[in-house]
């Protein structure tokens, strides 16, 4: 893979833009992070400007910057003076694995608006100024060397913050291809009515049109999209380019062929983070989740999911993975019981099948040869020769010698036929086993993940695993949750890792595989995400003075892909039945699954989950009796493709006794929308909210795209919080939703 070009604007960028609110007293500047070659840069020839992302919508803005500061320390600081400092941490992944170790130096530019800036630089919609997206353009010696699309938003000041939580896009180029070809591939007699192929890319394009309409109405500041942006990275298993990252970039910006599909791209800034699918390299068979495409498995099997590859390339990949499994197990299966079962099992299957096949061939061939020798000798009249040479038992020999020639001929034909049938049956069983093994390997290939999959995301969308930002009195911490794992850590006790009830098929789509977040220090981070989040919350508290028990002078949000609390489908159904029976607005308390209770760990985070709960409550786990930080208002997640809501609470205090956060299940967003009218600044404790997918549906929420439109007014009142499908259109005048079909 070719090294990415330098110089390059890393931040702000398409998935981590800068929001600058235009105010009468002047607007603040912002920071830009550059990656430059290692030689000393000629700053005198460097120019930076902001041009409207959509031609004709706004005017160019000239920029100045102070003497740059080199960013040569990627260690976590003792504290963040402001949330903008979270963008000064250059990950080791970007430094060493993507840009190339020792190839780049990183610089911080403090940028200001040369002649000031006001609303006249923004676009006009129906004679009103609206927030406007700009590209940042870096020029060197008069030549444009880097452009960061949709990286700056000049925002019209408003009373409050309005944003959308959107998740699980699962963009893939094959969805557009299949939507065109499905009707011709699947015969009419196989269809139950008109073919209704579900194209998740089309659902995202429909959402973009809705979001743009809301932005044009002045009712949307940004869209927050934490994870599963793409379904996988490559179009096939032999590709080197990131086909789906490129398509997502075009959908977001309206580039490529998108205009012909009626998509002009976002007119509102987007903040992104990574999900487990974003780490995956290769596609998966569509029949594993045919219902997500509105197809039957037999129909989905007809769709070619490896259309980018030759049969030879597929065969080589399968042979490579098979050899790796035989030799050492799969990296996907490491640290789990799968390796102890699958690897020896494959070895046993490999050796035993070869030995069994050889034994059958030898036995059938030996006995058949002897029997045919006797029969042929009889037919030809050579019985004496048979008697002296035969190795068959005496009784069998005597029985054969009593046959006449016609009977012997029939027996010979029958013996040959029986032997052929036995061999064919053995061969069929072997082929069946090989086919099952091939499908298992295909499933494993589709789960293969690594940091190399993130190259184009880091360069074109967002160079950060974790970052934070502020808009008015709302603070946002955005985190990555990593790739799939098959082990999990239980919140209910401290006994370490548990084997989770997760299968390969659960991991493909619509299940809930556990993910590696929160990371401990490793090759991706030189520090843990929990330590990072602790410092972010400390910064918010030092800025606002907010404490968790008091009325809110700000609102704090955490966004990540994999939820910190979740229920299995069976537990979710049971919890909803109990909730409906009790009709409790405060929800039902969830505890261990033993004795009819619940397990909230299904498909959640793999590390430091309990520490995260305490931080959200405003405490440290190591100091559970001392308040710390501002507390978190809302944790926004996706991953499971359904709308589910939990709330953390503190039990009644017992002097000097240890305590653990309580977890409640309920319908909290609707309750808070109602209650906040009477207590606008109240803190209900951390809400853990999952939003159903923009892309694939689930049995629980079958009509995507879904999103949460969240509105916080100037009094910190949460006016909108509940999830809605795109078929429900919000009226900004009445605050109500009406049903609309696109």
**Residue among 59, 278, 19 at smallest CA distance from 154:** 19
| pLDDT, tens only, 343-390 | 455 555 555 666 666 666 666 666 666 666 655 665 555 544 444 444
| pLDDT, tens only, 584-636 | 778 899 875 545 578 787 878 878 889 999 999 999 999 998 998 999 999 99
| Segments in 52-123 forming alpha helices (H) | 92
| pLDDT, tens only, 456-484 | 999 999 999 999 999 999 999 999 998 88
User: Where is 286: in which H helix or E strand?
Assistant: none
**Residue among 362, 372, 441 at smallest CA distance from 408:** 372
According to the model, what pLDDT value does residue 496 have?
41
Encode 133-143: b = buried (16+ Cβ within 10 Å), e = exposed. bbbbbbbbeee
Mean pLDDT value across residues 273-288: 91
According to the model, what pLDDT value does residue 403 have?
65
According to the model, what pLDDT value does residue 332 have?
44
**pLDDT-based confidence at 449, cuts 50/70/90?**
confident
User: For a pLDDT cut of 70, what percent of the chain falls above it?
Assistant: 80
Looking at residue 738, the DSSP 8-state letter turns out to be E
3-state secondary structure of 206: helix
According to the model, what pLDDT value does residue 490 have?
40
Phi, psi of 590 (to 5 degrees): -105, 135
Tally DSSP H helices, then E strands, for the chain.
16, 33
545/539 Cα distance (integer angstroms): 10
589/632 Cα distance (integer angstroms): 20
Phi, psi of 255 (to 5 degrees): -90, -175
């Amino acid at each position: 893979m070719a090294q990415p070009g330098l110089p390059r604007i890393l931040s702000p960028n398409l998935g981590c833009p800068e929001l600058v609110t235009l105010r009468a007293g002047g607007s603040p500047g912002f920071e830009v992070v550059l990656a430059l070659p290692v030689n000393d840069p000629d700053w005198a020839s460097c120019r930076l400007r902001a041009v409207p992302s959509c031609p004709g919508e706004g005017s160019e803005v000239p920029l100045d910057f102070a003497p740059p500061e080199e960013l040569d320390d990627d260690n976590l600081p003792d504290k963040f003076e402001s949330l903008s400092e979270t963008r000064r941490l250059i990950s080791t992944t970007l430094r060493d694995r993507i840009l190339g170790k020792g190839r780049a130096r990183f610089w911080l530019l403090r940028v200001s608006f040369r002649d000031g800036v006001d609303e006249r630089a923004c676009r006009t919609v129906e004679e009103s100024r609206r927030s406007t997206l700009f590209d940042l353009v870096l020029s060197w010696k008069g030549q444009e060397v880097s452009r960061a699309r949709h990286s700056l938003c000049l925002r019209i000041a408003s009373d409050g913050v309005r944003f959308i939580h959107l998740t699980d896009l699962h963009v893939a180029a094959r969805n557009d291809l299949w939507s065109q070809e499905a009707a011709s591939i699947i015969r009419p007699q196989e269809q139950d009515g008109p073919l209704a192929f579900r194209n998740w890319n089309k659902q995202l394009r429909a959402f973009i049109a809705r979001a743009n309409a809301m932005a044009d109405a002045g009712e949307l500041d940004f869209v927050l999209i934490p994870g599963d942006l793409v379904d996988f990275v490559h179009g096939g298993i032999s590709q080197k380019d990131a086909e789906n990252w490129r398509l997502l970039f075009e959908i977001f910006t309206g580039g490529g062929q998108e205009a012909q599909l009626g998509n002009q791209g976002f007119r509102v800034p987007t903040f992104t983070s990574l999900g487990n699918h974003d780490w995956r390299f290769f596609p998966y068979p569509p029949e594993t989740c045919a219902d997500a495409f509105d197809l039957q498995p037999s129909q989905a099997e007809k769709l070619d999911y490896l259309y980018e590859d030759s049969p030879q390339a597929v065969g080589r990949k399968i042979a490579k993975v098979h050899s790796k499994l035989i030799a050492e197990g799969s990296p996907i299966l490491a640290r789990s019981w799968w390796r102890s079962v699958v690897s020896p099992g494959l070895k046993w299957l490999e050796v035993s099948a070869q030995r069994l096949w050889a034994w059958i061939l030898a036995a059938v061939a030996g006995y058949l040869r002897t029997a045919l020798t006797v029969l042929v000798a009889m037919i030809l009249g050579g019985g004496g020769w048979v008697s002296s040479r035969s190795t068959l038992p005496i009784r069998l020999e005597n029985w054969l010698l009593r046959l006449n020639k016609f009977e012997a001929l029939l027996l010979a034909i029958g013996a040959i036929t029986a032997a052929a049938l036995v061999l064919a049956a053995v061969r069929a069983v072997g082929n069946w086993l090989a086919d099952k093994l091939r499908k298992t390997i295909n499933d494993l290939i589709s789960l293969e993940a690594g940091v190399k999959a993130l190259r184009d995301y880091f360069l074109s969308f967002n160079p950060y695993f974790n970052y934070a930002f502020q808009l008015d009195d709302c603070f946002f911490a955005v985190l990555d949750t990593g790739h799939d794992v098959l082990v999990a850590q239980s919140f209910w006790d401290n006994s370490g890792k548990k084997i989770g009830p997760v299968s390969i098929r659960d991991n493909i789509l619509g299940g809930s595989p556990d993910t590696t977040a929160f990371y401990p220090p490793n090759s991706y981070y030189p520090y843990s995400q929990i330590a990072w989040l602790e410092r972010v919350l400390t910064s918010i508290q030092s800025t606002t003075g907010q404490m968790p028990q008091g009325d809110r002078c700000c609102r704090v949000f955490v966004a990540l892909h994999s939820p910190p609390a979740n229920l299995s489908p069976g537990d979710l159904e049971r919890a909803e039945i109990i909730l409906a029976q009790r009709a409790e607005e405060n929800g039902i308390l969830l505890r261990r699954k033993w004795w009819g209770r619940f397990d909230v760990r299904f498909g959640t985070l793999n590390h430091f989950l309990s520490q995260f709960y305490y931080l959200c409550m405003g405490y440290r786990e190591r100091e559970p009796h001392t308040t710390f930080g501002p507390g978190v208002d809302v944790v926004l997640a996706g991953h499971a493709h359904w709308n589910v809501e939990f709330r953390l609470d503190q039990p009644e205090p017992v002097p000097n006794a240890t305590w653990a956060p309580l977890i409640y299940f309920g319908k909290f967003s609707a309750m808070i929308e109602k209650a906040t009218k009477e207590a606008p600044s109240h803190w209900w404790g951390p809400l853990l909210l999952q939003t159903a997918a923009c892309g694939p549906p689930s049995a629980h929420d079958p009509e995507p795209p879904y999103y949460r439109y969240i509105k916080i007014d100037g009094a910190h009142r949460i006016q909108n919080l509940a999830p809605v499908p795109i078929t429900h259109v919000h009226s900004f005048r009445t605050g109500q939703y009406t049903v609309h079909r696109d």
